[in-house]
Structure 1
Amino acid sequence: MEAALIPLAALLSFAIGVVATPLIASHNRGRGIVGVDVHKPHRPVIPEACGLAIVSAAVSPIAAAALIYGGMGYPEYAALTLLGLTAGLVGLWDDLKPLNPKVKPLLTALAGLPILLLHAYTPRPMLPFIGATRLTLVYPLLVLVGVAVTANAVNMMDVFNGVMPGTCGIIAASATITLMIMGRWSSAYASAALAGALAAFYIYNRYPARVFAGDSGSLFVGAMLGGLAVTGRLEVFMVVALMPHIMNAFYSLSSIGRLYERREVSSRPIRILKDHRLDASPDEGAPLTLARIILVHGPLDERGLIKAMTALTLLSSILAVLTLLVVPGVR
């Protein structure tokens, strides 16, 4: 894999995403696949499941690389292609016919199977101050759990305009740069393809959103980040970079006490004030989310809240890069 192909992957996925997103949005609106933007006072109806554009845009360059380089010792391309398609299909299933909240994590975990079956992993993760560890028996299970965690953590963060593609785009771009510095060109190529697709989708999903990714997009993106952590040996990097997403999921689940779907919760964590600003819900039964924690310090308009969540991810991504470059034992 030549380093010069990495920016080409980003440009190709970006171009596909720019074209595919409005086409899929128009199709879904015509089919009645829509959702309501509940954080707007006029509650606009927005095309849902448009994350299929992210899937098509990101997978295309990776699948092409799998066809070209698959027989040359680069199993990660085929593994990530199959992982992404599986997670995207699970998400589409959930968009069209909501899955049981206990079933969805299991199905997203299965998306990690191609990595194991194609042996696109190294069971010796690098840990801070320790270096390479040998987890030959446990690591395959950790791969499945990790993919499920990242997929569902990103899914639970996709609640405000532009937050999912914006924050995950920052993480994917940071991962690409880090992988290039470390000379892991094949994983950098795949990460660049994901970053380009997210940049294209952000154009349409940013405030005020014209499209929603749906679970087909968020589960795909989260699973791909988890897959890249494995194929690129970026386990520690991804844990640090995704910390806002992971903590949001942890607080939400611990406050409710079980796995749940947003549609199952009667009391929302955020309320809209008369001046259209967002405020933390005073209802003790509402889920404790990252957005609710931010708004405890005072109401914000939606743009302000989005900027705060994006800034936290930018900070965590910078810390992730510094962790790999500075802390002994991680590289």
Structure 2
Amino acid sequence: MLLFALAFIVAYGISYLSTKRVIAWEKKSGLVSRDMHKESPREVAHTAGPAIIFGVVAGVLVGVAYTIFVGNGLDITDVFAGLASLIIISYIGLVDDLFVLEQYWKPLLPIIAAIPLIATNMGDPTITLPFLGVMNVGLLYPLVLVPLGIIVASNVTNMLAGFNGLEAGMGIVMFAALTVVGVANNSEGMLAFSMPMLGALLAFYAFNKYPAKIFPGDSTNYLIGAGVAISVIVGNYESVGAILMIPYGVDAILKAINKFPKTFVKLRGGKLTAPTKVRGLIDLVLKITGPIEEKKLSYVFMGIELVFALIAIGVGLRFF
């Protein structure tokens, strides 16, 4: 497990240093966005995607290098396929960050990122699902379920976003849970991805927490969702991933019912307030909590994700 601790440290260090450079470069280049949920909106560096993927790639390659030169249980084919998928999904998100893709492209393009996973037949078609038990789904797994997992996970994590520290904070909770499950079950494939992702997001959170110095951008949001999907696919813990994604799924359903609204919550007296109609999970939470500061809203969502993370850990450790 020391190998994956090293992967975590490398991912953290490179992402931290890269994020500092990306912030400076984006501000100098004018690649900034307005931080809207403030009484005095300010300009913030636009996207941290490149800095995060640099760290993740470096962390994953630590595991690859160790496997090649020393040897362990990692399947290099699976690792490179997963890494290629993460790079592709991050690139797709970066293109969206820079050029703003049409909405109809966003749910479709992530399927490109699933191609390396399909080509290598990643994962085990014998899966365990909550309430359904163990099932062998055969070719349905690599040809349908794997690409569907990448598409759904990357898109829903991109929907539940827009507040300082929220995306990174929830991602940290998810990858921490995956790391616990991976360590407990000695799942080296899962740890090869979950620990670099955890390290990179922790480094990014230092700059994205309230008040943010840089936004995650779609490149980061897509990466978080795809990272969860790939971790559970290679580790064969799909049920754990499904549980972790429940808050995102609820948000996506509420938004779909309301035809994916583009309006934002309102800011009054320095606090976020819910609109009259609930159009997403954030609106629903604000209805329950009442007006709340942006920083506290992110903490609430990290707490919500933590509840599902604990359930997911229980399932992954077979307590339930």
User: Per-residue deviation at 1:327?
Assistant: 5.3
Show the counterpart of 2:219. 216
Show the counterpart of 2:107. 105
Show the counterpart of 2:267. 272
Q: 1:67/1:8 Cα in 2 relative to 1: closer, same or farther (>3 Å)? A: closer
Q: 1:98/1:81 Cα in 2 relative to 1: closer, same or farther (>3 Å)? A: same
CA contact (8 A) 1:76 1:231 kept: yes
User: Per-residue deviation at 1:288?
Assistant: 1.0
User: TM-score normalised to the size of structure 1?
Assistant: 0.90
Query: 2: distance between equivalents of 1:191 and 1:76?
Result: 14
User: Per-residue deviation at 1:217?
Assistant: 1.0
Within a 5 Å distance, the mapping from 1:171-250 to structure 2 comes to: 171-250=174-253
- The code of the aligned residue for 1:312 comes to I
Within a 5 Å distance, the mapping from 1:51-62 to structure 2 comes to: 51-62=49-60
Show the counterpart of 1:301. 293
SS at match of 1:112: helix
Show the counterpart of 1:63. 61
Query: 2: distance between equivalents of 1:137 and 1:323?
Result: 25
**Which shows bigger deviation, 57-66 or 136-145?**
57-66
CA contact (8 A) 1:277 1:299 kept: yes
Q: Cα RMSD (Å) of the superposition?
A: 1.8
User: Per-residue deviation at 1:65?
Assistant: 3.1
User: Per-residue deviation at 1:132?
Assistant: 2.9
Show the counterpart of 1:127. 129
User: Per-residue deviation at 1:68?
Assistant: 5.2
User: Per-residue deviation at 1:158?
Assistant: 2.1
SS at match of 2:186: coil
Task: Spell out structure 1 runs of 4+ moving beyond 6 A.
Answer: none
User: Per-residue deviation at 1:130?
Assistant: 5.0
User: TM-score normalised to the size of structure 2?
Assistant: 0.93
User: Are residue 326 (structure 1) and residue 318 (structure 2) matched?
Assistant: yes
Q: 1:158/1:204 Cα in 2 relative to 1: closer, same or farther (>3 Å)? A: same
Unaligned runs of 5+ in 1: none
CA contact (8 A) 2:164 2:209 kept: yes
CA contact (8 A) 1:241 1:313 kept: yes
Q: Which one of the candidate residues 81, 86, 97 is aligned to 1:84?
A: 86
Unaligned runs of 5+ in 2: none
CA contact (8 A) 1:165 1:198 kept: yes
**Which shows bigger deviation, 158-167 or 319-328?**
319-328
Query: 1: distance between equivalents of 2:88 and 2:305?
Result: 26
Identity of aligned residues (%): 26
CA contact (8 A) 1:34 1:46 kept: yes
Query: 2: distance between equivalents of 1:235 and 1:73?
Result: 18
CA contact (8 A) 1:176 1:189 kept: no
User: Per-residue deviation at 1:109?
Assistant: 2.0
Query: 2: distance between equivalents of 1:131 and 1:294?
Result: 32
